[in-house]
Amino acid sequence: MTTGRIGGCQVSAVPDGEGPAKAVPPRSFGEEGARLSYGAYLRLPDLLAQQVPQSSAPDELLFITVHQVYELWFKLLLHELEQARDAMAEGELWLAGHKFRRVHAIERVLVEQVEVLETMTPQDFLEFRALLAPASGFQSVQFRELEFLSGAKDAAYLERFRGASDAEVARLRRRLSEPTLWDAYLTALSRRGLPISDDEIMESLLTVARDRGSHDDLWRLAEDLLTHDETAAHWRMRHVQMVERQIGTKSGTGGSTGAPYLRGRTLLHYFPLLWELRSWL
């Protein structure tokens, strides 16, 4: 067999009697393709230009980077949780379970990421903290979207966001009106013929828990929801511990009470009935 090139394609010539020569298209990946670089695909020049400290404090770059990375993870979590919700509502329970496994992995990263911030001492933080006001993590629109999507809807937040754009407020309003993860799970129960009225829902959850042979997929989804709830609570607890370690009982830069407000949020449950279920088993 011999090879050559015709019109930009590599041609393989086969011995007599074995058929015609075949033109093989040029490779369009790797260095030969030269169509898209790593930096261009990830838009690295733009991405790496977004860390703009407001001071000369050495640790401000750390602070900005960690919080920007959080927002990127929040964006991905919203994407995955939306797909998990829609899969539950449409009866594709295997797909919902797959999405939840990814969500749980991301949420564990969020918890571990707190440790990176804790490498910053209170003295280091105080070098630039005053420059942050009135900016605050309280103003994270994506974080509130995650809470709304998970079932912790509170319209009062729409009036409390400082500097939120019209598009961001519209996103929050959409989250307030759209189905939650719990709504989608109830739809999955209903598809299985289980009643979901307020008076009957606990009995349906007990049926799922006690008849794993018939409803194991629904039971595993309930556990996925509970893991999402538990891991989010774990993150909130690690976050408030980090805040207390950094600023004690000082007020937040956004005007909240700081750690006391955050500690109150650690009691939040997205799916209280799934926690109550344990008492009935």
> Would you give per-residue pLDDT tens digits along the chain (281 residues)?
555 555 555 555 555 555 565 666 666 555 565 678 999 999 999 999 999 999 999 999 999 999 999 999 999 999 999 999 999 999 999 999 999 999 999 999 999 999 999 999 999 999 999 888 766 777 889 999 999 999 999 998 888 777 788 899 999 999 999 999 999 999 999 999 999 999 999 999 999 999 999 999 999 999 999 999 999 999 999 988 888 888 887 655 555 555 676 776 777 899 999 999 999 99
Tokens 């990946």 correspond to what residue?
A: 29
CB 24 within 8 A of CB 10: yes
pLDDT of residue 154: 92
As given in the structure block, the two tokens for residue 200 are 């009957």
C-beta separation of 164 from 141 below 8 A: yes
Q: In this structure, which amino acid lies at residue 96?
A: A
Contact 243, 258 (CB under 8 A): yes
Cα gap 239→262, rounded to integer Å: 8
Contact between 249 and 258 (Cβ < 8 Å): yes
Q: What pLDDT is recorded for position 22?
A: 64
Which amino acid is located at 101 in the chain? Answer: R
Token code pair at residue 187: 């739809």
Place of tokens 């009691």: 267
| pLDDT score for 138 | 72
pLDDT score recorded for residue 135: 67
Characterize 5-17 residue by residue with b for buried, 16 or more Cβ atoms within 10 angstroms of its Cβ, and e for exposed: eeeeeeeeeeeee
CB atoms within 10 A of CB 228: 22
Fold of domain 57-184+194-280: Methane Monooxygenase Hydroxylase; Chain G, domain 1 (1.20.58)
| Cross-strand partners of 10 | 5, 24
| Confidence at residue 1, expressed as pLDDT on a 0 to 100 scale | 56
> In this predicted structure, what is the pLDDT of residue 176?
96
Q: Cβ(259)–Cβ(249) under 8 Å?
A: yes
Helices and strands, counts by H and E, the chain? 13, 3
Tell me the C-alpha distance between 232 and 2, whole Å.
Answer: 62
Q: What is the largest CA-CA distance in the chain?
A: 86
Place of tokens 């379970």: 97
Beta strands in 127-184 (DSSP E): none
* Portions of the chain given CATH number 1.20.58.480: 57-184+194-280
Written in H, E and C, the secondary structure of 228-261 is HHHHHHHHHHHHHHHHHHHHCCCCCCCCCCCHHH
Residues 6+ apart with CB under 8 A from 184: 84, 85, 86, 88, 89, 96
| H-helix or E-strand spanning residue 85 | helix 60-89
